[in-house]
A and B are shown apart, each in its own frame.
Chain A
């Protein structure tokens, strides 16, 4: 077990402890165990402790992955003042259907993912198509830490300190042609590494897409790490997209191909259920999912069991930064 002091030393930015409520989390766990000991006797307490240890062993604890250096972002809107969701919850409550449809599946099963060697091919309507390996990608632009809210289409949300750079840095490098209107992101689909591909839930590989101007918005991020370390596999190692004003599923994990296109890409969830998952999928409290309201959300970890759900913000709270992208559009039609 790495002490919190050692962990802090591994991080470059001194404010990391402000956004890492790990101490809070550990305190809570100690309280839990005391409660169990007092309320149900020593037998139950040791049972609970064993259970907790077993759970931790199967997942990535902070300090187990290589540190990833970064500087705090100075971009407007890039540092949400919300309390960050505890590391344990960010890394154990995941939708990554290539490893199973239950939230706990990715943390349990993603260890089979091979993240090295890794290349991303950049194709389509660009003057400089290229294949970049992970090393080149890591060095493409200075790494920034950004604390983004993440809103899942299922009605829950998190706050995650990501590390990466603006997608715009890569786009400028490959020089899109005048025909490029959209960017399509394809993620890895290797049945040998991903047991969830056996399911017919979606047509694999997982494909997502953005309009070029959305991809160029500085908030759109290629992320390589979280909480000061490289991405855990269940969170989309070695690199993933993060589009903080859109529902989480727009941000593809473990990306292998980026293609610039003239036509709007056919995206996985839109193909699977167009009425429920639009191409845009902007966080919008006024446009409900057909089977549930999007007006409120449950913040994972931060809000207690009996806490009321919190109101969902337009564009997930990033309206000032991205609202102009959708000026004049009927957002109930282009959902």
Chain B
């Protein structure tokens, strides 16, 4: 196993893009990741969320969850394709943003659609398959988010940690199914298709790598 696949080895041996290693790179990424939230807050304040602001908030937070997920899944392919091992440092940050926007998405739904009534939320989740699937994706994401710091990697051991974090592929599948099912009522799959294509491409890239490794083994 090459050194760069180990999650704990974030320091590349020969940095080709020193900018990625700048001490401000990580805080800058956090700020960038918060921009969509800032924009939503701005639009709430300016009453610029359109005719149905509650629906807009629920959808936007869902969209950003999917976008962050795509970005997170894109890190490894980009890192290998561009030869930028330093990118690995940003994967966990992006992964945490997936969880962050997923939590916002759930909160917006629970608050704006369910009036923060826990019984109503539970009933709705159990009654509606597409919401259940979205909720399962979030549940599955929780242990990943909870183990996204270095001490957790040390305690679990890199191999087990990596195995656990492969659950992100299941999360991607469930998230896509959630989105597809939501849109199925109106048979409007254009956006679903875009996310599905991006995620399929990123997963296909990994699958190809896996097969190549198996063949060479």
Contact = CB atoms under 8 A, between A and B. Distances in A.
A and B interact? yes
Interface of A: 28-29, 32, 35-36, 39-40, 48, 51-52, 89, 92-93, 101, 103-104, 156, 199-202, 272-273, 276, 289, 291-293, 298, 300-301, 305-306, 308-309
A300 B52 contact: yes
Contact of A36 (B45, B115, B186): B45
Given A36-B45, A291-B130, A93 B54 contact: no
Contacts of B187: 200-202, 272-273
A276 B44 contact: no
B61 to A, nearest CB: 14
Given A201-B186, A202-B187, A276-B185, A291 B128 contact: yes
Contacts of A32: 46-47
Interface in B178-201: 181-182, 184-188, 190
Interface string B106-125: 00000111010000000010
B188 A291 contact: no
A93 B45 contact: no
Q: Which 10 A-B pairs have the closest CB atoms?
A: A93-B51, A89-B51, A308-B115, A101-B188, A32-B47, A305-B53, A48-B46, A300-B51, A201-B187, A291-B130
Interface range, B side: 20 to 34
A51 B111 CA distance: 28
A200 B129 CA distance: 25
Contacts of A300: 51-52
A36 B48 CA distance: 11
A289 B130 CA distance: 12
30 contacts: A29-B47, A32-B46, A35-B46, A40-B42, A48-B46, A52-B48, A89-B51, A93-B50, A103-B50, A199-B188, A199-B190, A200-B187, A202-B187, A276-B185, A291-B130, A291-B185, A292-B128, A293-B127, A298-B52, A298-B54, A300-B51, A301-B51, A305-B49, A305-B53, A305-B57, A306-B111, A306-B112, A308-B115, A309-B113, A309-B115
Nearest to A92: B51
A39 B45 contact: yes
B80 interface: no
A92 B190 CA distance: 22
Given A305-B44, A305-B57, 19 more contacts: A28-B47, A39-B45, A40-B45, A93-B50, A93-B52, A201-B187, A201-B188, A202-B187, A273-B185, A276-B185, A291-B128, A291-B181, A291-B184, A291-B185, A293-B124, A298-B54, A305-B112, A306-B112, A308-B115
B11 interface: no
A36 B47 CA distance: 10
A291 B129 contact: yes
Contacts of B57: 305
Contacts of A39: 45
A309 B124 CA distance: 15
Interface string B145-158: 00000000000000
Interface string B10-45: 000000000000000000000000000000001011
A300 B181 CA distance: 24
A156 B112 contact: no
A65 to B, nearest CB: 19
A305 B52 CA distance: 8
